[in-house]
A and B are shown apart, each in its own frame.
Chain A
């Protein structure tokens, strides 16, 4: 093939690839609304498709900025579809509800991206079918739920429940007084700097990692993923880690004493710690590479239960 023919073929291929993309008409429309919430009010947003970013700020105003978007080859069809997206805002009894309504939520070829500022003490409930949720600097309670998308919460003071199916959950520098749950089906859960009394983290096939947290009761569970915990234990804390086929790895800092009960059916248990007999009169620590380990370290004030089926278990010093 001559050089000229090759150039022509390459150009034709390039044009055929670029044409469909260029043919899409991206039609957008902005939506803007300001409302008021008194102290400890509730902001409740349900979206269908699109990302949501919510930030807590000073003042009592809620500002809602949204961008409706539809991509279709035919510009008239795109405009008509855009007109079908309805954002309804309802205010009542210190509660602000925002709902995105589209005729056929599962198949609708459009999206709405929200950027919201709320008073920092507001309680926030946010849900979407497809899209990611980012919440930051919220001092009220936060509940977030998405099916296909990730959730990230940072600087949240009353974390309550984060739930997604196909995305990751990331919690950074957060706190809670009441029990916290964070779950995903196929994604990972990553927790850094969480202060809470009771926390439950679950995934089916994803990994779960907890770093530098101060949690009194922690339950971490996955079927296939690995579980990692790095940091100190709380005095009198209770920690439970269950994985079927994933590994469980604890890298502990600080001097908090703990009692450990570790079991794996077909994996191995390894530890850097030298254990004494437990407070319950437990048998002495098992040999390295065994399938079970029970013993106490220091004053044994915390309790650590580790259970895997085929995964390995390891305890190390940081």
Chain B
């Protein structure tokens, strides 16, 4: 394996640049040939592509004017609070799910980087266990870890969603799970199938994205106090 020779070309490849775009650069064609037979680089490309995709969908946040008013009022409130309450922060709990979801996304990014770092050397890092090629897909493991964490968050936050949206999300997660199962069955049948492997990673990536959306939605819609007067009015 000479994965490290192609380090410089990886970013461009993930951005969509192909050997046909650079006919004078023989390394591009060599990398594509290498990629065809290297499961580690394939997994890495899939992983980085998913990170790129996720990054491209992040919203651009411009601080709204109301934020400054809230900051000013929050500073006033904090000054009136006892020191221990200031340390804990009153709004911390509302940000926990979003922060954890963001951490999971970071873990995914770090996982992708780690795979790339591991793929650069021919021998595994000290203390690491060599993974026989074709036996396991590192990217798959990263996705599974991310999915496990996000699923836990989504399950905990699910009650904040309205029943119809929850039903749609559950139904579509089942659609993705079916795609994951079918891809895994195909891989078991044909372990060398790049197509089955790509389908599996695609489905896992889609599941990560949908679970992230679920957590974000639940965080967005779940907040707010439930005033007693509203409950009274609703009962009439």
| Chain A contact residues, CB within 8 Å of chain B | 42, 44, 72-74, 76-77, 80-81, 84, 90-93, 95, 97, 99, 103-109, 129-130, 143, 147-148, 161, 165-166, 179, 181, 183, 185-186, 200, 204-205, 217, 221, 223-224, 238, 242, 244-245, 259, 263-266, 279-280, 303, 307, 309-310
Contact = CB atoms under 8 A, between A and B. Distances in A.
B183 interface: yes
B224 A223 contact: no
Interface of B: 16, 18-20, 29, 32, 53, 56-57, 59, 62, 64-66, 160-162, 164-165, 168-169, 171-172, 175-176, 179, 182-183, 186, 193, 195-196, 198-199, 202-203, 206, 210, 213, 217, 220-227, 229-230, 233-234, 236
Q: Which of the listed residues A108, A200, A223 has the most CB atoms from chain B within 10 Å of its own CB?
A: A223
Contacts of B161: 106
Specify the main secondary structure of chain A where it touches its partner. Answer: mixed
Most buried by A among B186, B195, B226: B195
Please provide the 10 A-B residue pairs with the shortest distance between their CB atoms, ordered closest to farther. A92-B65, A77-B236, A74-B236, A244-B179, A204-B172, A309-B199, A77-B233, A103-B230, A166-B168, A186-B168
A91 B186 CA distance: 57
Contact of B224 (A73, A81, A104, A204): A104
Contacts of B225: 103
B41 to A, nearest CB: 18
Contacts of A238: 16
B65 A90 contact: yes
Most buried by A among B66, B179, B229: B179
B56 to A, nearest CB: 7
A103 B234 CA distance: 12
A235 B172 CA distance: 36
Contacts of A72: 233, 236
B234 A186 contact: no
Contacts of B164: 148, 166
A265 B186 contact: yes
5 contacts: A97-B64, A104-B224, A104-B227, A147-B221, A309-B195
Contacts of B160: 106
B186 A309 contact: yes
Contacts of A186: 168, 171-172
Contact of B20 (A105, A107, A179, A303): A303
Nearest to A181: B57
A188 to B, nearest CB: 13
A165 to B, nearest CB: 6
Given A104-B224, A166-B168, A307-B198, A95 B16 contact: no
A309 B179 contact: yes
A303 B16 CA distance: 10
Contact of B226 (A104, A266, A280): A104
